[in-house]
Amino acid sequence: MKILLCCSSIICILIVSPFSFANNLTLDNPSLTDSDTEGKTTKITFDISWDNSWRNKLNYDAAWIFVKYSIDSGSTWQHATLKSAGVNPTGFSLGSGTAIEIVVPQDKKGCFIQRAAYGGGSLATTGVALVWDWGADGLDSGTQARVKIAGIEMVYIPEEAFYLGDGDGSSESTYAFHQSGNDNSRVQITSASKNITCDINGNDDIDTLPVTVDGDGGIAGNANFPTGYKAFYIMKYEISESQWVDFFNTLSYAKQLARDITDTSGKNSDEPINRNTVSWTSGAATTVAPDRSCGYLSWMDLCAYADWTALRPMTELEYEKAARGSMDAVFAEYAWGNNNVTYATTISGAEDGTETITDNDANCCANNQTFSGGSGGTGPLRNGIFAVSNSSRQEAGSTYYGAMEFSGNLAERVVTLGNESGRDFQGTNGDGILSQAESFEGNATNTDWPGIDGTPARGVTGALGSGSRGGAWNSLTNPVLRISDRTSASAADSARREYYGGRCVRTAP
């Protein structure tokens, strides 16, 4: 089998933000070794490094590594299958340098690379090797293929109890979850069953009240619904423009037409609009702000990206867990654990991935600010922009576990608990393959994911079962930025709005 191998910038986040713990993820010096035509496998060897990596008693960072291959000279790309599942599978190599673990889930659609022992600082390991089972992908020894290896920065969210809602006995955020029959009361999600409810508004149509949540066993009627109690990995940052462009550029032309955020259904321009610089008319899409969070992503766009990377959408319960961690809830708290917020107004330096915010104590992109400096305008900022070398959690705008921009910047798209379509979500991970069906080409294919084709249902505009949390750059009121605010938690919107972005998760192996 003839294989051309290259490391890909696809999905690699090149962010300099020391507080965020892992950054400058690079995959260098790829090579092919130990090709086995009888076993139909090949080792893909590379060096991996990133800055400010960590592992401690609480949690750790990781890189989700996956492989794409093309058998038509790069016109289209398929998802590769690894040989074995488990921790440090036989035949895989841990390389030399920082001690790492390679964790391959049962579906073998990629692996997590993470520190093997407690420690912090730069991670650098050479000679890491994964085993590609190209026979399982239907290839034979006469096939010519090109291979790309890609990585996404992730944060591990451990299995542990957490709080939903922020009620303090007398007040709570808008439409926040609370104990059934007891308004203004936060509820701890554990392995035991709890009945929760919330007030109902036009965007929130919980059909059956209360909803029974069992952290270790899903929800009533769906034992597989991801409640946030069990362990999962989450993208450290919102999808960036470079990530979106690199994903888009691996798609066939027909799939690109379905996922084109620059057409009339999106920003309707190839010029920068609301600080989105993605441009595409034909050929390869481009961006001049690769580190900036990517707006104009519809729910279907987010799900397609999640499926292609073998990740999945997160639920609104996972959103609260990832933000708050195991800490007790604080009324009106933002993602950084208190109710202090300062909006960014001034950008210092050219927006090349090194720009900073000069406003004292700024930790949030919101309030529809027109920025001074940089590229100016209104819209999202680059991922991790508030973090500097000595940032506190509040100063960096970080969640409890180290994920960034959970309040403001772009709205976090979630699977809602608020209606039957959302509650039917089984939490399956993507398989790297998008739909080939003519009517829905380029969509995600996981049938348990709600709203993946945007079909209108039950009198709403489409994408029923989805919603958003955390507010965005154009949020003019503080409440919607709060962890527990559910104003748009069940807003089933299939549109490509300038303030829609998001990130993906994966159930821990």
Q: Supply φ then ψ for residue 387, to 5 degrees.
A: -90, 130
Whether residue 199 contacts residue 175, with contact meaning beta carbons closer than 8 Å, is answered with: yes
Which tens digit of pLDDT belongs to each residue from 150-174? Answer: 999 999 999 999 999 999 999 999 9
Which of 232, 250, 267 lies at the terminal end of a domain, its last residue? 232
Please tell me whether residues 166 and 122 are part of one structural domain. Answer: no
Do 199 and 70 share a domain, yes or no?
no
* More confidently predicted of 193 and 159: 159
Whose structure tokens read 């709570």?
Answer: 172
Q: Does residue 93 sit within a domain?
A: yes
Angle formed by the axes of helices 299-308 and 241-248, to 10°?
70
Identify the three-state secondary structure at position 301. helix
pLDDT at 397 over 80: yes
Give dist(CA 409, CA 194) in Å, integer.
33
Return the pLDDT at 269: 97
Residue 465 has pLDDT above 70, yes or no: yes
Question: With 0-12 CB in 10 A as exposed, 13-18 as middle and 19+ as buried, what is 38?
Answer: exposed
Q: Which two tokens stand for residue 460?
A: 């709403």
- Whether 371 maps to a domain, the answer reads no
- Determine contact, residues 377/351, Cβ cutoff 8 Å: no
User: How far apart are the C-alpha atoms of 331 and 483, rounded to whole Å?
Assistant: 10
* Whether residues 15 and 123 fall in one domain: yes
The pLDDT confidence band at residue 53, using thresholds 50, 70 and 90, is confident
Q: Which of 477, 271, 260 is nearest to 367 (CA)?
A: 477
The Cα–Cα gap between 236 and 60 comes to 11
pLDDT the model gives residue 181: 82
Chain position carrying tokens 């348990």: 448
Tell the residue number behind the tokens 């009240």, with chain if given: 209
pLDDT-based confidence at residue 9 (cuts at 50, 70, 90): very low
pTM, full prediction = 0.93
Q: Identify whether 443 is part of a domain.
A: no
Residues 23 and 115 in one domain: yes
The pLDDT score that the predictor gives to residue 350 is 96
Most confident of 185-199, 201-215, 291-305: 291-305
- For residue 457, is pLDDT > 90? no
* 237 exposure class (CB count in 10 Å sphere: 0-12, 13-18, 19+): buried
Which residues are registered as beta bridge partners of 229?
none
Q: Please count the structural domains in the chain.
A: 2
Same domain, 69 and 172: no
In a domain, 67, yes or no: yes
pLDDT confidence of residue 16: 22
pLDDT at 19: 25
CA nearest to 15, candidates 284, 287, 286, 243: 243
Annotate 124-173 with three-state secondary structure.
Answer: EEEEEEEEECCCCCCCCCCCEEEEEEEEEEEEEECCCCEEEEEEECCCCC
Task: Determine the pLDDT at residue 202.
Answer: 40
Average pLDDT rounded to a whole number, residues 227-254: 95
Given a cut of 90, is residue 43 above it in pLDDT? yes
pLDDT tens-place string over residues 60-74: 999 999 999 999 988
Cα(166)–Cα(186) distance, integer angstroms: 5
Mean pLDDT of 187-208: 71
Cβ atoms of 405 and 36 closer than 8 Å: no
- Domain carrying residue 31: 2-157
**Amino acid 491: pLDDT:** 87
Coil, strand or helix at 467: strand
> Do residue 30 and residue 69 come from a single domain?
yes
| 294 within some domain | no
Bridge partners of residue 46, in order along the sequence: 128
* 219 and 138 in a common domain: no
> For residue 183, is pLDDT > 90?
no
Long-range CB pairs of 72-79 (<8 Å, 24+ gap) are 73/146, 74/146, 75/252, 76/250, 76/251, 76/252, 77/148, 77/250, 78/137, 78/432, 78/433, 79/109, 79/308, 79/310, 79/431, 79/432, 79/433
Q: How many CB atoms lie within 10 A of CB 66?
A: 24
Taking only Cα atoms into account, the Rg of the chain, rounded to an integer number of angstroms, comes to 22
pLDDT digits (tens, 9 = 90+) for 412-456: 999 999 888 899 999 999 999 999 887 788 999 999 999 998 866
**Is the pLDDT assigned to residue 12 strictly greater than 50?**
no
Quick count: other Cβ atoms within 10 Å of Cβ 263?
Answer: 16
Residue 346 lies in a domain: no
Is residue 221 in some structural domain? Answer: yes
What is the tens place of the pLDDT at every residue in 77-115? 999 999 999 999 999 999 999 999 999 999 999 999 999
**Cα–Cα distance for residue pair 300/4, rounded to 1 Å:** 32
Is the same domain home to 194 and 83?
no
Q: Which tokens is 275 given?
A: 């600080």
Asked if 118 and 140 sit in the same domain, the reply is yes
Is 492's pLDDT higher than 90? Answer: no
User: How far is Cα 204 from Cα 418, in angstroms, rounded to an integer?
Assistant: 6
Please report whether residue 304 resides in a domain.
Answer: no
Answer yes or no: do 110 and 216 share one domain.
no
Q: In the structure encoding, which two tokens stand for residue 110, read together?
A: 């990629």
Last residue of a domain, one of 232, 254, 272: 232
Condensed to tens digits (0 to 9), the pLDDT of residues 271-330 reads 999 999 999 999 999 999 999 999 999 999 999 999 999 999 999 999 999 999 999 999
Of 129, 157, 185, which marks where a domain is finished? Answer: 157
* 135 and 104 inside one domain: yes
Is residue 204's pLDDT more than 70?
no
Instruction: Kindly state whether residues 6 and 148 are assigned to the same domain.
Output: yes
Choice between 3 and 138, residue whose per-residue pLDDT is larger: 138
At 22 the pLDDT is 36
Q: Which amino acid is at 265?
A: S
